[in-house]
Amino acid sequence: MNRTLVVARKEIKELLKNKGILLTALGLALFFSIFTSVAVSKGRESASVVSLNSSVFYLSAMVGLFIAYMSTSQIFLREKADRVIETLMCAPINLRQIWLGKVLGVSVPAYLLSLLMALLIIVISGILSSSLLVPTTSILVHVLLVLPTLIAAFTGLLGFVQFRLGMRESRILNFVIFAPLFAGLYGAGYVMGGSFAVSWTQVGILFGISALLLAVTAYLTKRLSKERIVTTLP
């Protein structure tokens, strides 16, 4: 576990050095926080709570996934392009620990920024509406439990695929994922003022899918060999 944390700390430091990703992530969190809060504060108190719940539910997930997507490209794909991964695999650490460390290195910053955005939405919405708006318990569970699991599952799957595929295939995959992900982020921001009631069922289903995806990817990574990754290096 210590070796995994060493890899995670290394990746977090690398992400913090990338000012482009950091500024983009902070800009997204701030923009959608303010934009959403204005829409939430315009409704009545009961409608505002429903709008607040739906906004936190959808936007925290979409922004978290988008940040994770940008970070994963640097952590997994760029290290293959620069052949840094080859040096890392020569260290006394197995491939699953490398994968898990990278997943943690991406997921922790992405989750913290998503959490920051959710908090900003709640605080700014309350200030603009001059009332205390508190999300329901299901939304709090989503933010504290489901959201980090979802981000880790997405990061783990994308990282595994980029480990498994060659450079050309990985770039094509990135393009295929980027378009619908950006469209989903934009769409969520467009409908955030709507009254979409979020239930425990939606929260439970999302958590179940995320946990299952994370477990399956972890199992597949265990079966992935270092030799396979070496053959995909440029």
pLDDT tens figures, 14-61: 888 887 777 888 887 788 778 777 766 665 555 566 677 877 888 888
pLDDT above 70 (res 219): yes
186: confidence class by pLDDT, cuts 50, 70, 90: low
Q: What percent of the chain has pLDDT over 70?
A: 82
Taking alpha carbons only, the member of 109, 198, 203 closest to residue 151 is 109
Specify the DSSP class assigned to residue 73.
I
- The pLDDT score that the predictor gives to residue 106 is 92
Average per-residue pLDDT for the chain: 80
How much is the average pLDDT of 118-136?
80
Q: Tokens representing 132?
A: 């205390």
For helices 95-129 and 200-222, the axis angle rounded to 10 degrees is: 160
**CA separation (Å) from 139 to 60, 105, 136, 205, 210?**
11, 25, 5, 13, 16
Task: Tell me how far apart the alpha carbons of residues 217 and 160 are, in angstroms, rounded to a whole number.
Answer: 7
How much is the average pLDDT of 60-76?
85
- The pLDDT score that the predictor gives to residue 105 is 92
- The pLDDT score that the predictor gives to residue 193 is 47
Q: Picking from 12-16, 82-86, 182-186, which range would have the lowest pLDDT averaged per residue?
A: 182-186
106 contacts 71 by C-beta, under 8 angstroms = yes
pLDDT above 60 (res 194): no
Return the beta strands (E) in the chain as ranges.
Answer: none
- The pLDDT score that the predictor gives to residue 161 is 84
pLDDT above 50 (res 209): yes
The count of C-alpha atoms lying within 13 angstroms of the C-alpha of 222, restricted to the half-sphere facing its C-beta, is 6
Task: Tell me how far apart the alpha carbons of residues 218 and 232 are, in angstroms, rounded to a whole number.
Answer: 20
Three-state secondary structure call for residue 134:
coil
- The pLDDT score that the predictor gives to residue 152 is 95
Rg (CA), the chain: 19
pLDDT above 80 (res 96): yes
153: confidence class by pLDDT, cuts 50, 70, 90: very high
- The pLDDT score that the predictor gives to residue 143 is 92
Q: How many CB atoms lie within 10 A of CB 214?
A: 20
pLDDT above 50 (res 133): yes
How much is the average pLDDT of 129-142?
82
Q: What percent of the chain has pLDDT over 90?
A: 19
pLDDT above 80 (res 69): yes
- The pLDDT score that the predictor gives to residue 41 is 66
Q: How many CB atoms lie within 10 A of CB 84?
A: 12
Task: Scan for tokens 């709507």, then name that residue.
Answer: 194
